[in-house]
Structure 1
């Protein structure tokens, strides 16, 4: 996953897999939801509201049964 903060890009090859909630709302994200979200097996809440996301929600994300 690549994180961009204040114009600086940082590559994050490992994602913590025990997060329960993530709020990405209002960040002007565009494109598709990254497939790497599927690795967060314990995720219970995911908020991408108020962004410019496009495309279909991945089947892998739909399989996150705690979401």
Structure 2
């Protein structure tokens, strides 16, 4: 999707979550889509044959950055 349609898609998801409480699993590499999500999951392979699952709570990450910036 182009950036304008990504924005519409993310707004639609946010509206559906607010209205219904539904949770969505979105698979994407698009940076704008990832920026609008509450949590990111990723799989990385630091050494051959060993995968590692990563999870980032974006709300908590923003709070950490703001706390460090306030110091």
Would the TM-score normalized by the shorter structure come out above 0.5? no
Which structure has the larger Rg?
2
Normalising by structure 2, we get a TM-score of 0.29
| Larger RCO (alpha carbons 8 Å, 6+ apart) | 1
Normalising by structure 1, we get a TM-score of 0.29
